Amino acid sequence: MLADFNVRDARIFGSVARGEDIEGSDLDLIVDLGEAARLTDIFRIEDALQAVLGVRVDAHMPPLRDGRFARHVVVDARAI
């Protein structure tokens, strides 16, 4: 499905990546769409994944500007 959106790389992070997710947990993603990416592309990916998975999806594009948040993502990130 992510190939439909020209995703170069996608990684999960957060509670799902750590195996600590519970009912109601969201799915956190970092997705690389290349230099031509637009914010609307992220919204489309979130909507499509939410429809299929039935959970809230929170997607982000690199580079991550918040240093603390970026370190958290790097520690947790798992390729999908």
So what's the pLDDT on residue 52? 96
Does 28 participate in catalysis according to the annotation?
Answer: yes
Give me the residue label for tokens 């970026």.
70
- Predicted confidence (pLDDT) per residue in 25-44, tens digit: 999 999 999 888 888 999 99
Burial class from Cβ neighbours inside 10 Å (0-12, 13-18, 19+) for residue 15 reads: middle
- Distances 25 to 15, 16, 19, 71, 78 between C-alpha atoms, Å: 8, 8, 11, 21, 17
Please tell me which residue in 26, 41, 58, 76 is annotated as part of the active site. 26
Does 76 participate in catalysis according to the annotation?
Answer: no
- More confident: 42 or 72: 42
So what's the pLDDT on residue 65? 66
Q: Which of 68, 63, 56, 58 is nearest to 24 (CA)?
A: 56
- More confident: 66 or 2: 2
Q: Which domains does the chain have, with CATH numbers?
A: 2-79 (3.30.460.10)
Taking 70 as the threshold, does the pLDDT of residue 72 lie above it?
A: yes
- Predicted confidence (pLDDT) per residue in 6-29, tens digit: 899 999 999 999 999 999 999 999
Token duo for residue 47: 């909507």
Q: Which of 36, 31, 34, 37 is nearest to 10 (CA)?
A: 31
Please tell me which residue in 9, 28, 41, 58 is annotated as part of the active site. 28
